[in-house]
Every structure is written in structure tokens, then in C-alpha cells.
Amino acid sequence: MFVMPKRKLRGQLMIEQATGRASYPERSRPDIHDRLAVRRPRSEEMAIDQDWTAVWPAARSFASSVVPLPIRMGSRPDPEKRAPFKKQGNLELVKIPNFLHLTPAAIEKHCNAIRKFCTEFPEELVKDEKLADSEFPLRISYNTYVHQGTNIRDNRARVITLQIKLSALQLSPFARDKLIRLATNRYDEKTDTLTVITDRCHTRKQNLDYAFYLLTAIYHEANKVEPWESLKQREDSLKVEFEGSETQTKLFSLLKQIGSHDKFNSPVKNLDTSTSDEQLSSDPSVKEFADMWNNYVNTEETPESTREYAKRIKSLLGLPSPSSP
């Protein structure tokens, strides 16, 4: 007994198809070209005034059928003869991150949406850099890199640069001097800035935490006073100070003797030999000369600074200038 199957066998289907008695619709092959042949890419159907923020609202991988831009990417042996690969099926465009969701229109929409939750940045901080440095003495900077390659990580992106004004730490003169010695070349005297660069850890957050740890450690170490540090002499200082120098001793001796001479027109002429050194140090003219002397001795000598030094010492001693009769 033979039971006919409900479906036709493969041999019957092949015979009917070969003799033309049966026709079957051709199915598309499961590849990219046949799928694109069913419908035109969306990028070709977009209007010129299309709202791009509705097409690409958030970060996502590159899609050649959506982006209406003739983008090419890749390498050729001879790029002058053959252009780089097109965007269709280009894996290099898919691997790298894109910023198609951060168009000016999208940023404007985001800003308008969160504007009611934000306050305006103070204009005084923009106009006055000194005020900005005093209010925000700590600055942290890092870089983010986007490049073509098999690895999405870049070792340079983990580097953290921490900068802080030394005046913001409110250190004592002893602690400030010790911190500068510990920081060595990381301290810039011209800008009064301490710079700490960390790149030892594997991630950016670890390097940021390590930078804060180094700043905390060097701050507390600078405030410590070891027993041997009390033996510090004047010659061990980083800078030469007017207070206690031989110049101060000789200058005060001259200023005390000027009062008995009528030819000198010194601003401290009313003082006599009985005047104490504390009174001389508190005089405004002597304070100005002390500041100028500290700057002259501890910086590189220039013709301008030498002339300024000669002018100040003559003015303090009351010596007539060469041009005066």
C-alpha cells in the first residue's frame, strides 16, 4: 500500500520547474546588495530640510544607509589612482566613534532644554583672570583622542595634569620654602604654579586620584618640622632676603648718620642715631627699597634693573641726581 505525501517530492518539483509546468518566485539572497535592492537607502530619500536630530538623536555606530554624506575611509596602495573605500560596508567607519549626534542644532536643543536649570557664568571671572585664579586656584586638564586602529584605547588619554596656585595653599614661609624644594622643577616661580603630571596608572580616574594623593602628601610633608631642620642657616635659603643682610646693616647705619648733614635730602632725614632698626624697617621708603632690593638680587640682572636700583638708593640717601644743578 502506497500513501501519497501531502507535499511534492523534490524530484517532482525539479521536473515541473524544468518543463515549465510550475513557476516559483525567486527569493532574495541573504546578502547586503539584495537587501538594499528591495528599497533605496534612507539617505537617498531624505529631504534637504530634514531634521537631523530626529534621524540621529543619540550616539550610535555609523550606518551608511542613514548618513547622507559621501564619506570614504581606508588605505590604498596608491591613493592617487584609487580613492579610499566607500561608506557601504566599510568597517573602519563602524569601529571609530562618531559625533553625528553632536551637531550644532542638537547642541542648541540640549542647551535650550537645560537652560532653566543653569545660571549664567559670572562675567567678572571672564574679564578678570586674577579673580578667576583666586576663586578657582585648582585646574585639572586631560585629553581625549580619536584615531583609526584596532584598539580603541589610547595611552595618552589617561594622563592627568593638575595645576594649583601655591598662594592658595596658605603656607607659612617655612612650609612654602620646603614645598618648593620638594617640588623641584614642578614649581614655576613666574606664575606661582605647582604642576603635577600623573600617568603611571592604567585609567584616567586612577591617575586623578593619584594626583590628589601626591598633592595631599606634599602639602602635609611641607608643614612637618623635623629636628634637624631647626639647624637651617641663612645661607641655606633659596632666596637672599633683605632682612638680616649686610646691606640692611650698612644702609641703616648710613641713614642714622644722614640727619646731621644738611646736604642730604633723604625722606628719613628726621631720624637720628637713636632710632631703632624696627622704626627704620617700618618706614614706607625703606619698605619700598627692600622690595626692590629683593627683586634685584634674586632675579637676572638687566640694565633696566640696575638703573632702577641706582635711582632708588640715591633717592633713599638723598643724593642729588647728575642732571640737577
In tens, the pLDDT along 57-76 reads: 999 999 998 999 999 998 88
Q: What are the extents of the domains in the chain?
A: 31-118, 123-231, 239-317
**pLDDT one-digit tens code per residue, 207-252:** 999 999 999 999 999 999 888 877 777 766 767 777 777 777 777 7
b/e map 140-162, b = 16+ CB within 10 Å: eeeeeeeeeeeeeeeeeebbbbb
Please give the CATH number for the structural domain made up of 123-231: 3.30.160.20
Surface-to-core class of residue 289, CB atoms within 10 Å of its CB (0-12 exposed, 13-18 middle, 19+ buried): buried
Predicted confidence at residue 325, as pLDDT, reads 45
Tell me the helices (H) and strands (E) count for the chain, helix number first: 14, 4
What pTM does this model have? 0.56
Name which of 158-172, 179-193, 195-209, 311-325 the model is least confident about: 311-325
Mean pLDDT of the chain: 82
Residue type, 49: D
**Nearest Cα residue to 101 out of 112, 110, 91, 92:** 110
Rounded to whole angstroms, how far apart are CA atoms 281 and 285? 9
Cβ(158)–Cβ(203) below 8 Å: yes
d(CA 29, CA 60): 28
CA distance linking residue 190 with residue 300, whole number of Å: 13
What's the whole-number mean pLDDT along residues 32-43?
Answer: 72
Residue 160 main-chain phi, psi, to 5 deg: -115, 135
DSSP string, 183-241: HGGGEETTTTEEEEEE--SSSHHHHHHHHHHHHHHHHHHHH---GGGGG--GGGSSS--
pLDDT at 295 over 60: yes
Q: Give the tens place of pLDDT for each residue, 98-136.
A: 899 999 999 999 999 999 998 888 888 888 888 888 888
Residue 92 has pLDDT above 80, yes or no: yes
